[in-house]
Amino acid sequence: MVMGDYNPGEVWWVTVPFADQPTEKRRPAIVLDNNIIAILAVYVTSQNKNTPYSIEIEDWASTGLTKPSWARIDRIISIDEMFMDCKAGELTERDKDKIFQLVKEYTSGKKHEFSIVAIKRSQGEYLQFYDNRWKCWLFPYVRSSDNNKDNVDKFVNKITGLNALTEYVASAKHCKYSVSDEVYKIYNHKLYKLNLHEDADITRKQSFTIDGVDYRWMTFDDMLGDENIMEKNDDVISFVKSRC
């Protein structure tokens, strides 16, 4: 049987049967791929679930949706044509690029592993460094490794000049745009923290440079009030703020 014309990026109303129940649910879905067997689609929901895989559809109104919506890239389903009801609209290019790039990341199982360090001084400020690739002040970070705790401690001690031991706090996944690579990625961030005493040399200066890298101390209010930081790193700031 030859299927109808379903194009990637289109949003359709579909009727989804439940395998273990005699009921069905009508909901929007995004067409990812079209072949002679079924339509591969991702669920759309009007509730922002507590999961990193719930991706905001920014231009939901022009897409044909009736309320703010999110695409669940972890809910990819194969839908038979008989359950395709009617077309609602199409994703805008920016929403399509974001969702399709993240679906590709999710289905590949690839995650970008990095460790973030929240270095705090007694005034309640956190150390930030200026990342020239991101053009933004960020928490110090290093690529995660097999011996990650030792790797993080060596990285921090190079910055602080101390023989300090960090403390592991938590990990979280973030789906976000990589400014440096100009593509959406799924990051797995491990968070470590270190509280510095007042006698540490780097706590006595508000800003300083080490090996050509600029550092400065900032409060969460400083970060939240910086439009550039919030545009590029709001999810990480929220993660650190909730844990430290």
d(CA 63, CA 89) in angstroms, rounded, equals 5
- pLDDT score at 35: 66
Q: What is the CATH number of the domain that holds 231?
A: 3.90.79.10
Total domains present in the chain: 2
Tens digits of pLDDT across the chain (244 residues): 345 688 999 999 998 765 555 567 788 999 998 765 566 778 788 877 778 999 999 999 999 999 999 999 998 888 888 888 899 999 999 999 999 999 999 999 988 999 999 999 988 999 999 999 999 999 999 999 999 999 999 999 999 999 999 999 999 999 999 999 999 999 999 999 999 987 778 899 999 999 999 999 999 999 999 999 999 999 999 999 999 9
Whether residues 84 and 117 share a domain: the answer is no
Output the CA torsion 131→136→139→140 (10° steps).
0
43 and 138 co-located in one domain: no
pLDDT at site 20: 53
Residue 131 lies in a domain: yes
pLDDT at 43: 79
* CATH code for the domain of 83: 2.30.30.110
Please tell me whether residues 120 and 87 are part of one structural domain: no
Q: Is residue 156 part of a domain?
A: yes
Per 3-state DSSP, what percentage of the chain is helix, strand, and coil (rounded to 5)? Answer: 25, 45, 30
- What's the pLDDT score for residue 50? 78
236 lies in the same domain as 165? yes
Look at residues 91, 126, 152 and tell me which one is the last residue of a structural domain.
91
Pair 35, 149 in one domain: no
Q: Mind spelling out the 3-state secondary structure of 51-117?
A: CCCEEEECCHHHHCCCCCEEEEEEEEEEECHHHEEEEEEECCHHHHHHHHHHHHHHHHCCCEEEEEE
Give me the domain span that covers residue 68. Answer: 10-91
Token digits of residue 165: 């031991």
What's the alpha-carbon Rg for the chain, to the nearest Å? 22
**CB burial class (10 A; 0-12, 13-18, 19+) of residue 31?**
buried
85 and 131 fall within a common domain = no
